[in-house]
Amino acid sequence: MTDLHNPMGPLHRIIPPTLRTIVVAALLMGGARLTGAQTPSELSHAWSEAVYALAQKSAAAMGQARSFSLDVRDVSEAAPVELAEIRRTFDDDITARGMKPVAPPVDTQIQISISRTLAGFTLVAEIHHGDAQQLAIVPVASEESLAPQPGAQPGLQRKVVWRQVAPLLDFDQIAVDADHAFWYFLEPERLIVYEFAGGQQVLHDAQPIPRRYAARDLRGWIEASDATHVSAFVGAGRCDAVWNPSLTMECRENSGQQWPMGPVSWTFTPGRNYFSGTITLASSLQAKFPPFYSSASPLAATSGQGPSRRVIAGVDGQAQFFDGSADAASTFDGWGSDIASIASACASAWQLVATGSGDWTQKDQIQLYEMRDQKAVAIGEPIEFPGPTLAVWTADDGKSARVVSRNLESGLYEASIVSVACGN
């Protein structure tokens, strides 16, 4: 879609959020402390990746089972790892997937064995459920194979798809086919939809959004079920909209203040512009983190990773990495309040983008990072913006990010798609 300049009203400033110091809460799963999750992982990158992949395969093999006993053995008698760390990492990851390790006797037993082949070490999980038995096998990559390969580094690229005068909270494009698409734009007080066919505007409509709480710096987010059904989350309110062929919308108080984010949901703080820190998992268990503006965890398309890993951009100005523990495993300096995971075609590792730490009066940048063990490694050069970035959300395809920013020179709000350009 070509750039559009669509004047829609008087210009308003986005007020910078006030940072507050919040005491870090304990990480809870349904009110219980996670088993063995008190110390950071000491596994190397290759071993931790293999354990995460094994947990993913084991969870799929377990089916509807939600509890299991676990035994870990080193049949090779030569593995350069602690069995307790294998167990802890596996427990943390599979617990985040909704399963719970318990002491025997139990209907489902998992036995992990470390064996050795000519190619190196291999993890084998035997899943016993009643009379049935399944195997999950994951080779442990050599550290040499994980070393960066020579060649051009991937980098971020930005495509501006929309410009307007009125403040913009979020936007989304949903394609019906190669020639037909719907565009939704979320403003503080209305949701707007455009229908395009063959690159030409066909229809346009808008519906007002009532204010639920007074907030100086509203947060907004669009979730699309399909091209004609979307939900808009603005502060403490939720609006469900249907386009057929005009836009109808029902708005209400957001019960429980849940913002669905893929397989999990975040709890919003009414009257503020941040999330409380409570994340509800697919199993309805809850994990507690410090209050945050945004959060990122590995996407489903990322291989060898687990949902127990999470980075938060806290309201205290710190970006912290959690690996299934109540305490942050590491802290990253110089990050802003918006982060989002992205699954590029350049790598299978967990990658994310993060804004800079400037305020609303300054130009901003977005940097691509790759999570390696407990470190965030910058990949390529940051992409510069002609003003502050106001929102960054993982796009529906998971391969790019939706970015809302304000151009300080023109005063216009800009909607952009940021993606990863792979090197030659």
Can you give the pLDDT of all 424 residues of the chain as single tens digits? 434 434 333 333 333 333 332 222 222 233 332 333 333 346 787 888 888 888 888 888 887 788 889 999 988 888 899 999 899 888 888 877 778 888 888 888 999 999 887 778 889 999 988 788 888 888 888 755 444 444 456 789 999 999 999 999 999 999 888 888 999 999 999 999 999 988 788 889 999 998 766 666 789 999 999 999 999 999 889 999 998 888 999 999 998 999 999 888 999 998 899 999 999 987 778 889 999 999 999 887 665 466 678 999 999 999 999 987 778 999 999 999 999 999 887 777 889 999 998 888 899 999 999 988 889 999 999 999 999 999 999 999 899 999 999 999 999 999 999 999 886 5
Give residue 307's pLDDT.
61
Residue ending a domain, choose from 88, 116, 139 = 139
What CATH number is associated with residue 246?
2.130.10
194 plus 85 within the same structural domain: no
Give residue 278's pLDDT.
94
154 plus 135 within the same structural domain: no
Give residue 206's pLDDT.
95
Looking at the domain assignment, is residue 160 inside a domain?
A: yes
Give residue 303's pLDDT.
54
344 plus 255 within the same structural domain: yes
206 plus 175 within the same structural domain: yes
Residue ending a domain, choose from 139, 169, 202 = 139
180 plus 93 within the same structural domain: no
Looking at the domain assignment, is residue 88 inside a domain?
A: yes
Looking at the domain assignment, is residue 53 inside a domain?
A: yes
Looking at the domain assignment, is residue 24 inside a domain?
A: no
134 plus 168 within the same structural domain: no
277 plus 259 within the same structural domain: yes
Give residue 340's pLDDT.
96
Looking at the domain assignment, is residue 20 inside a domain?
A: no
Q: Which domain holds residue 41?
A: 33-139
How far is residue 370's CA from residue 312's CA, in Å, rounded to a whole number?
Answer: 15
133 plus 232 within the same structural domain: no
103 plus 240 within the same structural domain: no
341 plus 412 within the same structural domain: yes
Give residue 424's pLDDT.
54
Residue ending a domain, choose from 113, 139, 165 = 139
282 plus 325 within the same structural domain: yes
Looking at the domain assignment, is residue 369 inside a domain?
A: yes
Looking at the domain assignment, is residue 11 inside a domain?
A: no
Give residue 250's pLDDT.
95
192 plus 133 within the same structural domain: no
Q: Cα torsion for 230, 232, 233, 239, to the nearest 10°?
A: -100
Q: How many structural domains is the chain composed of?
A: 2
How far is residue 248's CA from residue 186's CA, in Å, rounded to a whole number?
Answer: 15
